Amino acid sequence: MPGEKRYSRYLFVSLICIFVLIYSLWEPSTPSIQLLRHFTSIALSKFDALTNWSTVQAVFRSQNVSDNRSASDDFTTAAPEGPEVNKSGRYVSMCSHNFDNRRIGNQLFNFAAMLHVAWLTGRRVAMVRKHPHGWLDRWFRVAVTRVDRIQSELCPCQPLGEARGLAYHQPVLQLSNRTDIVGKSLLVCGWFQSWKYTV
């Protein structure tokens, strides 16, 4: 059994290296050495994560994307708010188009995108109490604020789409500088299938 774990780690590191190589060839605008450093830190943290959850949290908090954010205004890890709190204009959730038959993988991508957008903009994540197709609650205990109806409890809302599938939507990085989203909840609309929403 110990030998199998060692080989699975080698396999994992090999896959990460292959992914780095493919990605560096795919997106020439990003210097390859920066990607290699980034993926090396992620790969090492994944090994630590197998035994220590606080390491995972530390890695996510150390990935500063925006200079105008501080640890004191990170609402993504705050306790969920109850039904008595006015939630309009302070949340990130999913638009109605995302309530389709997506299975767990795509739901995890959507959840990662919601957390990423919430972290960048100083908002919280909210989700409906009863997802029409089970959502993540069937497999995980997701500690986010729950609402009965997104449109009536979270809006005014601003939809946030993506330019194309399987790619990071670069304008997301500028959300903290936009004035047209002040006082509005953001609704993630699309697939958001990129690893960059997790850092």
Q: What is the pLDDT of residues 135-164, one digit of tens each?
A: 677 788 888 899 999 999 999 999 999 988
The model's pTM is 0.62
Domain boundaries, the chain: 2-62, 71-198
Give the residue from 186, 190, 150, 136 showing the smallest Cα distance to 168: 190
- In this prediction, residues 81-107 reach a mean pLDDT of 87
Highest mean pLDDT among 5-9, 87-91, 130-134, 187-191: 187-191
Give the residue from 104, 101, 105, 110 showing the smallest Cα distance to 160: 110
- In this prediction, residues 4-23 reach a mean pLDDT of 69
User: Is the predicted pLDDT of residue 65 greater than 70, yes or no?
Assistant: no
- In this prediction, residues 92-121 reach a mean pLDDT of 89
Of 115 and 33, the one with more pLDDT: 115
CA dist., res. 105 & res. 110, Å (int): 9
Burial class of residue 138 (count of CB atoms within 10 Å of its CB; 0-12, 13-18, 19+): exposed
Q: Side-chain half-sphere of 141: how many Cα atoms within 13 Å? A: 1
User: Is the predicted pLDDT of residue 70 greater than 50, yes or no?
Assistant: no
Distance from the first to the final alpha carbon of the chain: 32
Of 138 and 126, the one with more pLDDT: 126
Average pLDDT, the chain: 75
